[in-house]
Every structure is written in structure tokens, then in C-alpha cells.
Amino acid sequence: MAAYDILIADDHPLFRSALQQALTITLGDSVRLVEAESIAQLEARLAEKSDWDLVLLDLNMPGAHGFSGLVLLRGQYPQIPVVMVSAQEEAAVMSRSREFGASGFIPKSSSLEQIQQAVQTVLDGDDWWPEQPDEDTAMTEEEKAASAGLASLTPQQFRVLTMVCDGLLNKQIAYDLNVSEATVKAHVTAIFRKLNVRTRTQAALLLQQMESIPQQA
């Protein structure tokens, strides 16, 4: 039986293969690797099993808006360590990843050895961050409130929110999720309350905040 269960969430097949290779070399038969190529697949894997030892999460996943996937994971599954994986390697991106609750950050330019070191460090219970210059990129109160609101959403509410932000009407969302329009309306009401917004536009703007990265001075 595998000692570690690791979930690789990335929409790029080549990079998923690279992660598979790095982790198989390091952990051998003691690891079970499962892949997800979208937020929907990630949520399905988490619904099936909630005691993963680690999630490797791509910053730009289909179905997520920037850091919203990380915020959702930390809100719904706080017991699972999450390491962000991204081709965006700016210090501000790493800083935001840390503030939103990630246990580490792996730049996609990393060598196999660096990936192996990062994963083993987090599996051992520590955080792992690349060296980076100190920057004043603290989250604003508005961003903290947005993050807390998103973290309080259920996975189904999060799906509804992303579809609202994509411009879908309640009846379209109901059809796609195979639920009643009344159920969607109830979800939207709950989402507005949790996010402290009154309109679909305000909800969309709040979700888009998760994509914004502070500009370096």
C-alpha cells in the first residue's frame, strides 16, 4: 500500500508527466499519483477521498480564477497541504500563494531535483519556498475579506459562482449542473450573502480579484 497519496492538478499533460516522473523517481512504490486537469476533476477527486497527503495545484486551471482554486481548497479541505505550481514566477505571485494558505511554491522552470526536494519537504511537514527578494505585497483588507468569503463557499456554490462570472443565466446553470432553477437561485442568494455583494457583477469582480497580482514598485 502506498505511503503517500498525491493529487496532481494541472491542465498541461507534459508538466503532469514531468511531475509524475520526478515523484516516481523519488518515492518509488511508496507513492500513488492521481491526476486532475480541471477544477471540476479536482473537486471530484476530493469528493471521493479527502485525506490526500498533498495536492500540487497549477495556478491557472480551467474552472478557476487565479488563486480562487487555492482559496477553495484551503477553505473546504484545510487538512490537505497544497503546493502551488506555476510558470508565473514573480515574487508577488509566490507571496500571494503564501498568504492564501499554500505550503509551498514550485516554479515550472524548476529542475527535477528541485521538484523532488520541494515535495519531500512538504510531505515531511515543512513549507518549501524558492529564494525570493523581500517585497511589500501585503494583502489589503478588501482582498482578505474576498478570500474569506470565497473560502466559505461550498464546492457547488463555487461552481455556480464561476458560471455566474462566465455570464451564464440561472436556467443555463441549472441545465449544466442538472439541478432545478430554484436550487440555483438558492445558491446565488447564499453566495451573495457570504461574499457580501448584491449583484452578479459585484460577485464577478470579487472573483476576479483572485487573478490580480500587485505590481512591483
pLDDT of residue 121: 93
Question: Considering the domain boundaries, does residue 130 fall inside one?
Answer: no
Which of 99, 124, 149 delimits the end of a domain? 124
Q: What is the CATH number of the domain that holds 104?
A: 3.40.50.2300
How high does pLDDT run on average in the chain?
Answer: 85
pLDDT of residue 119: 92
pLDDT of residue 9: 93
**Statement to judge: residues 8 and 85 lie in one domain:** yes
What does the alpha-carbon distance between residue 207 and residue 195 come to, in Å, rounded to a whole number?
A: 10
In tens, the pLDDT along 98-133 reads 888 899 999 988 888 888 899 999 999 999 998 765
Give the burial class of 30: count Cβ atoms within 10 A of its Cβ; 0-12 exposed, 13-18 middle, 19 or more buried.
exposed
Question: Considering the domain boundaries, does residue 73 fall inside one?
Answer: yes
Q: What is the CATH number of the domain that holds 195?
A: 1.10.10.10
Return the SS3 of 112.
Answer: helix
pLDDT of residue 184: 93
| H or E, element range at 31 | strand 31-36
| Total domains, the chain | 2
Cα 178 from chain centre: 25
Question: Considering the domain boundaries, does residue 81 fall inside one?
Answer: yes
What values do phi and psi take at 94, rounded to 5? -65, -40
**Statement to judge: residues 84 and 176 lie in one domain:** no
For cell 521538484, the residue is: 115
Report, as ranges of residue numbers, the positions in the chain whose pLDDT lies below 50: 1, 215-217
**Statement to judge: residues 117 and 31 lie in one domain:** yes
Please name every residue paired with 57 in a beta bridge, in sequence order, or none if there are none.
9, 84
pLDDT of residue 182: 93
**Statement to judge: residues 12 and 107 lie in one domain:** yes
Q: Which amino acid is at 21?
A: Q
Grid cell locating 31? 507513492
**Statement to judge: residues 61 and 146 lie in one domain:** no
Query: Which residues, including other chains, have CB under 8 Å from residue 202's CB and lie 6 or more apart?
Result: 195
What does the alpha-carbon distance between residue 107 and residue 114 come to, in Å, rounded to a whole number?
A: 9
**Statement to judge: residues 19 and 105 lie in one domain:** yes
**Statement to judge: residues 118 and 44 lie in one domain:** yes
**Statement to judge: residues 120 and 154 lie in one domain:** no
For cell 523517481, the residue is: 25
pLDDT of residue 138: 65
Range of the domain at 177: 141-210
- 69: closest CA among 52, 86, 89? 86
pTM of the model: 0.76
**Statement to judge: residues 101 and 153 lie in one domain:** no
**How many other C-beta atoms lie within 10 A of the C-beta of residue 41?**
18
**Statement to judge: residues 108 and 147 lie in one domain:** no
The two beta strands, 82-86 and 31-36, are unpaired
Question: Considering the domain boundaries, does residue 178 fall inside one?
Answer: yes
